Every structure is written in structure tokens, then in C-alpha cells.
Amino acid sequence: MMRNRIAALVETALQTAAAAEELLSSPFPAVIIGTPDNPDHGDFSCNIAMQMAKGERKAPRQVAEIVIRHLGDGGGLLAKAEIAGPGFINLFVAPGAWQSALLEIESQGAAFGRTATGAGKKVQIEFVSANPTGPLHIGHGRGAAIGDTLCRIMGAAGWAVTREFYYNDAGQQISNLALSVQARCLGIEPEDPRWPADGYRGEYIKDVANAYLGRETVEASDQHTVANGDPTDLNAIRTFAVAYLRREQDLDLAAFDVAFDVYSLESALYADGSVDEVVGRLIANKHAYEQDGALWLRTTDFGDDKDRVMRKSDGAYTYFIPDVAYHLGKWKRGFTRVINEQGADHHSTITRVRAGLQALDMGIPQGWPEYVLHQMVTVMRGGEEVKISKRAGSYVTLRDLIDEVGRDATRFFFLMRKVDAQLVFDIDLAKQQTNENPVYYVQYAHARICSIFENAAEKGFTAPEQPAAEALACLSTPEELQLIKLLCALPDTIDDSAVHFEPHRLTYYLTELAGCFHSFYNKNRVITEDTALTAARLYLLKRTAQTLKNALTVLGISAPERM
């Protein structure tokens, strides 16, 4: 918002200086506007003078002087501009410009914070993509929160987002699932020596078996499956178990307010010949070779540390080949930008999948697709790690957390840290109704503002609509101006979050905004004997509530009016 206006002002100054032949190195570098760590150094800063110094054959400070001379006051936007250090340009926005920005925030309403940076270009984001072998665990939960919020952020930044879930419904894990359900159908318990060696032991397997024996019908996203109840029919058990657990995962995600546009199945890649097509093309392109009875791909030609087996000596394909086929399908669907959100344990697959795509010789860019990898989650209760679930047996499920602390707290806590940082999820903290709980702290700021409006209405005061700019001039205390500055930062925060794939920036932003509001409220009376000041402050808080709600909505979190 304000950052873009400042950037445009600097660009105009450069062009004006070039027209006056004071700057000669056109075309100029892109103008990058930053924020000084110390607010005493200005609201924004720019290093354009240092970027241009060599081309201009001038000292950076000389270039900065020229730029500042042509900036002027920016039509009332700037209070002043200064040169700092080796040639930084520090820019101070005029208080009146900050105050008038509140009117723009009001006019945008629920759309405030949204930008057009993505220009409607297509991006496909794949996330969760859990094997349909059990309930979603906390790692899937963090991936769901990050992926879903990244979709919301990219959408808010102007991208046309398609959400996709990829089911690995083929391979050994699915075979182990089918054998586990069959064992339960036959009355075999996990402690029995006849239990499958790599079988799944959670109580949910018994639920699947009972549903199968009861000939239940399962509707799962894009699948209609009816159990035949025959415990000897392993293929029927496999089909039903996958459908049943896909439905369970659908329910987990619905409880988390996560939805998808497209569901893709690994099994479909074998059924429609996509895997065979990829292997045939890799062989035809001479990027594959036979050795020790296996088929290998020369991934070392594309940056891998060693070649990788595509087809094992028993004829089965290794896991990354269907992944290559799946991503080729994304490319054919026209997604020139694809982002995959996955757990950090998938790190080794990135090079292999990209190498396979390069080896197809179809013009796919080297860095395609892009990846966001999240680190593990540790759940704590009472100072001790929680490791198991009654339902899943060996791990904590996403549903466990949602049921215990609620959707909002679960989402916020999963998003509080950088995706590549390990996360400690403190259940006790997430349940606290105090300011120590970060999601409560943010939501309480919104609820507190709503209660202020109720109190004001009882005394005959309401926030004005589209007041004259002069009516906002009384919003001049440091707390008021800092609050306005933070409100104006929401569009920039969304853009930065989208560029860097960092949803945690929004949780940081909300925490800072809530703290700024609480600080303002503790130091300034809203309802005063000065009716003009009261109206202006109510207007400021109206915009604050609006911004809190807009940012929370992007995170998929509610903005309660009472707490």
C-alpha cells in the first residue's frame, strides 16, 4: 500500500532526473523499498543510489542527493527524505498521508490487504497428499495449515490458485493396509503371531474392518465404494479400505476448514499409461540404462549425487517415477508454476523428480516445481511430550488437536514458526484464555474493539463513515500513528508472505498489530469529552478491527466479537 506509493515516487524522481540529464544510466535498476530496523531512521529506506553509483560514475551519496532533490514532498506524501550511511535514502511519510490512508482502508472493506501482484496468473499448490493408510497425524496437520494458508495468501496476492491433493494409493504401504484390515476381518489381533509383519496396529483398522464386514457404503471426495463383506477378497478389501480412510481424511480436513479443487490418484497414473509413457520417453531420450537387472536413470546428468533406480529387478517401479509422471501431468495441464508443500523428509525426492522432468526434454524449467518443506512437530502437555493417540495408536492425530484446543488455535499454532523450523505445540498454552496464548491475544484485540463500540453506542457515539481528511488530523499521538502504520502494512505483509512462502509472517504481523492496539488503548481514552477526537479514535479502531479480521480470514481463523 504505502510502500508501493513510495516506490512509485522514487521511480518518478529518477525519470525526472533523467529528463533533466542529471542521471544518465537509464534504464535504472528496480526500485526496492525496505523498512529501517530503527524507526528513527524513517518509515522506509531505499538503496537505489548505491545500485546506480557505478553506472553514474558518482559517489552513492551524490546520486542520493539528486534523487532527493527530485522527490520533493511527493504531493504531500513525504515529510522529509535524508541520506544515511554510504548512500541510503531514508524516507519519512507525512502524518497527514498516514491519516488519509485510513479512508482508503475503509473504502476497500473486506478486500483490504488484497493485491494484484499475481496478475491472475495460474499457480497450482499441492499439499497434505497423505497416504490413505490412516488418520492424518500432526505432521499432516502442519502441512495442511501451511498449504491452505499459502493458497489463501497467494489468492490474496492476486494469483489464480488451484489446490490439489495427491493420493499415493498404490505400492507396498497400501498392500500392508489391506492385509491389516483383512487380519481384523478374520479376527486376528495385532498381538497374534499371524499379524502381518508391517501391518497397521491402530484401533482405526478395526473400524475399517467392521465397516467392510457390515457392507457399508463410502462416499469419499470423488469415490463411491460399497463393501462386499467377503474377508477373503483382498482386492475388495484394499479398495474399500482406501476409500474409507480417504473419507476419514476428508472429515479431518473439513474440521480444519481445508478443501481442495482437484484430487489425483497414483493408481490412475498406472491405469492410464502415464507411468509407462514417462519411462518410454526417458529410454528414448537415452537417459536410462540397464544394470544388475534394474533400469536406471542418469540423474547425475541433472545434478544428483548418483544415478537412481527407476524399475527394480522385480519389475516394480521406485516411488519417484510415478511422481515424475504425476508432475508431467501438471505441466500438460498448463501449470507453469507449481508449489509442493511437503514434510522435510521429502527433501531427497526434490532432486530426483526434477532430474526426471529435465530428462523428458520437454522444456520444463530446471527449478520446476518449487517446494516448501516443513519441519516436524512435537506436542507437549503438562511439560511432557505426547506421542500416541488412542485411535491411531502410534501417533497424535490432527483430529486429537482440533477436538482438544479448537480449529483456530490449532491453525494459528501450526503457523507461528517458519516452515523450516521445528515446532513445539503446547496444548496447555493453546487452551489458555489469557494473553500468554498468542491466538487468544490476537482474537481478544478484535473482541475488545467490538466491546468498545458497544460501550460507545450506549453513550451515543458511533464511528463516522468516510470522514473528511481534516477530521483525522487529531490522530497524532505516537501510539495512533504507529497503529495506522501497522494497518497500512497488511498488503505488503501479504505480498512478502506470498513471495517467500512464509505464512508465519502474518501471525507475526497480527501479534504485533494486537500488541500495538492494546498499547494504544492502555494509554489513550477512546471516549472523551472532545467529540471530534472521540469520533476520530472510533474511526481508527473501526479500521483496526477491519484489518484484524481481514488478516485472520487469510489465515483461516475467526474474528470473534465476544470472548
Residue 321 CA to chain centroid, in angstroms? 27
* Domain boundary assignment for the chain: 1-93, 99-117+434-555, 122-166+263-374, 172-257
The predicted model scores a pTM of: 0.94
Which pLDDT score is estimated for 336? 95
Which pLDDT score is estimated for 238? 96
Sequence-distant (6+) residues with CB within 8 A of 217 are 224, 225, 226, 227
Which pLDDT score is estimated for 389? 74
Q: What is the fold of 99-117+434-555?
A: Isoleucyl-tRNA Synthetase; Domain 1 (1.10.730)
Phi, psi for 310 (deg, rounded to 5): -95, -45
DSSP letter for each residue of 335-358:
-S-EEEEEEGGGHHHHHHHHHHHH
Give yes or no for a contact between 368 and 324, defined as CB atoms under 8 angstroms apart. no
Residue 516 CA to chain centroid, in angstroms? 24
Phi, psi for 545 (deg, rounded to 5): -60, -40
Q: Which three cell numbers stand for residue 315?
A: 519389475
Give yes or no for a contact between 304 and 355, defined as CB atoms under 8 angstroms apart. yes
- Smallest CA-to-CA distance from 163 within 410, 327, 321, 341 is with 341
- Helix residue ranges, H only, 157-316: 172-185, 203-213, 234-255, 266-271, 274-284
CA dist., res. 197 & res. 321, Å (int): 27
DSSP E strand boundaries for 54-95: 78-84, 88-93
Which pLDDT score is estimated for 393? 74
Residue at grid coordinates 495506522: 484
Helix (H) or strand (E) holding 219: strand 217-220
- Decide which of 2.160.10.10, 3.30.2350.10, 3.60.21.10, 3.30.1360.70 is the CATH code for 1-93: 3.30.1360.70
Which pLDDT score is estimated for 221? 63
The strand pairing partners of 137, in sequence order, are 397
CA dist., res. 557 & res. 550, Å (int): 10
CATH code linked to domain 122-166+263-374: 3.40.50.620
Sequence-distant (6+) residues with CB within 8 A of 142 are 374, 377, 414, 423
Helix (H) or strand (E) holding 425: strand 423-426
Give yes or no for a contact between 550 and 113, defined as CB atoms under 8 angstroms apart. yes
Average pLDDT across each block of 10 residues of the chain; the chain has 563 residues. List them in order: 94 95 92 92 96 95 96 92 95 96 97 97 97 94 98 98 94 93 96 94 95 92 86 96 94 96 94 96 96 94 92 91 97 97 91 95 95 96 87 85 96 97 97 96 98 96 94 96 97 97 98 97 94 97 98 98 94
Angle between helices 504-523 and 407-415 (to 10 degrees): 110
Sequence letter at residue 547: T
Give yes or no for a contact between 104 and 2, defined as CB atoms under 8 angstroms apart. no
CA dist., res. 173 & res. 317, Å (int): 14
